[in-house]
């Protein structure tokens, strides 16, 4: 090979390497805390991460490419959900995350599970969707009342989850003494299938992939909360409001299931740059994101800009606030 050719190839390789370094320098990674892989936070977090990302070299939005934030690479990280996400976001260990409204508000205020341990650096980007409380029963098991859980082996959700905080409040209210097991959704599903649990609680956006799988194999039943129980839960946990898991949400559940639900929210740290969060909020509500959410998950269809501020009880991030002001949603 001629020296001139070798030199040309070396120069091209060098320029490509420099270009790669420049691209890497322009790239910003953004970690979004979600929940367990079998729940809803993880796939929804993945859809949001996809929507707001626009890595260097991507095709422009107007040419069919990504409509996310230039240079941003968002990543959905599996975690123990709401409480864990609030702690990590406040500490700067995660850039953003999904959390139930109860954990968000109590964390910011330093009440409930967060008593004496405020997470007041957390700010809201958007309200997302309602999370229904599931009380999953092994197939054929019948409960007339919640108090029938006395003496049973039950899953109370993962440590660090908002579900567990709420479940333990409910159990305490009804003086239920059960064999409590701290398990994530995947573990709960497996132990119920293996006969090691009688029932388990989990709150999240329907449907759970883990329950779809369980329904097609071992089967399960869902507890229908009684009207007086729903009223009592709403009184002790005001964030939980009446809801219904519709018949057919899970193929094996053919009747409506009365329950309670709390809103899931997307939150971040107040120290995140305002212009970055503004652009992330703008990308979240881009018309192309609508397509991703509608096709990506059944719960994605109810994530809508018109309910983005519903149930938000703590301050918005300044970047998100700027976006909603421009849209005339707040003054």
Phi and psi dihedrals of 186, rounded to 5?
A: -60, -40
**pLDDT (tens digit, 9 = 90+) per residue, 138-156?**
999 999 999 999 999 999 9
Q: Give the H/E segment covering residue 325.
A: helix 318-326
Cβ atoms of 203 and 132 closer than 8 Å: yes
For the 132-263 domain, the top CATH level (class) is alpha beta
Domain assignments of the chain as residue spans, ordered by start: 23-129+264-326, 132-263
For the 23-129+264-326 domain, the top CATH level (class) is alpha beta
| Joined tokens for residue 61 | 């939005």
Cis ω before 207 (30° cut-off from 0): yes
**pLDDT (tens digit, 9 = 90+) per residue, 250-288?**
999 999 999 999 999 999 999 999 999 999 999 999 999
Q: What is the pLDDT of residue 127?
A: 96
Q: What is the pTM assigned to this prediction?
A: 0.82
Q: What is the pLDDT of residue 10?
A: 38
Q: What is the pLDDT of residue 65?
A: 85
Q: What is the pLDDT of residue 66?
A: 86
Q: What is the pLDDT of residue 20?
A: 45
**Whole-angstrom distance, CA of residue 309 vs CA of residue 41:** 19
Cβ atoms of 68 and 51 closer than 8 Å: yes
**Whole-angstrom distance, CA of residue 281 vs CA of residue 4:** 51
Q: What is the pLDDT of residue 8?
A: 34
Q: What is the pLDDT of residue 11?
A: 35
DSSP output for 76-101? EE--S-HHHHHHHHHHTSSSEEEEEH
Which residue's entry shows tokens 């301050």? 315
Which regions of the chain are under pLDDT 50? 1-25
């Amino acid at each position: 090979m001629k020296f001139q050719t070798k030199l040309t190839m070396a120069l091209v390789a060098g320029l490509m390497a420099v270009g790669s370094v420049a691209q890497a320098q322009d790239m910003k990674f953004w970690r979004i805390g979600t929940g367990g892989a079998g729940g809803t936070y993880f796939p929804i977090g993945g859809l949001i991460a996809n929507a707001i990302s626009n890595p260097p070299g991507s095709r422009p939005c107007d040419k069919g490419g990504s409509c996310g934030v230039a240079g941003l690479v968002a990543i959905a990280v599996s975690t123990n959900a709401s409480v864990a996400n609030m702690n990590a976001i406040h500490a700067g260990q995660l850039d953003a995350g999904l959390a139930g409204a109860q954990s968000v508000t109590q964390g910011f205020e330093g009440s409930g599970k967060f008593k004496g341990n405020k997470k007041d650096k957390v700010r809201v980007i958007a309200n997302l969707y309602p999370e229904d409380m599931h009380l999953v029963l092994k197939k054929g098991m019948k409960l007339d009342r919640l108090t029938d859980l006395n003496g049973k082996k039950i899953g109370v959700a993962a440590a660090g989850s908002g579900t567990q905080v709420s479940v333990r409040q409910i159990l305490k209210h009804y003086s239920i003494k059960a064999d409590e097991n701290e398990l994530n959704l995947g573990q709960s599903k497996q132990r119920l299938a293996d006969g090691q649990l009688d029932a388990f609680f989990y709150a999240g956006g329907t449907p759970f992939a883990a329950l779809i799988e369980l329904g097609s194999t071992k089967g399960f039943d869902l507890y229908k909360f009684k009207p007086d129980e729903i009223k009592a839960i709403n009184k002790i946990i005001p964030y939980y409001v009446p809801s219904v898991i519709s018949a057919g949400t899970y193929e094996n559940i053919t009747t409506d299931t009365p329950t309670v639900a709390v809103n899931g929210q997307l939150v971040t740290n107040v120290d995140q740059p305002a212009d970055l969060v503004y652009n992330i909020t703008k990308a979240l509500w881009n018309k192309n994101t609508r397509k991703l959410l509608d096709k990506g998950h059944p719960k994605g269809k109810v994530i809508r800009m018109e309910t983005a501020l519903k149930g938000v009880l703590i301050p918005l991030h300044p970047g998100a606030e700027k976006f909603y002001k421009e849209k005339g949603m707040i003054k």
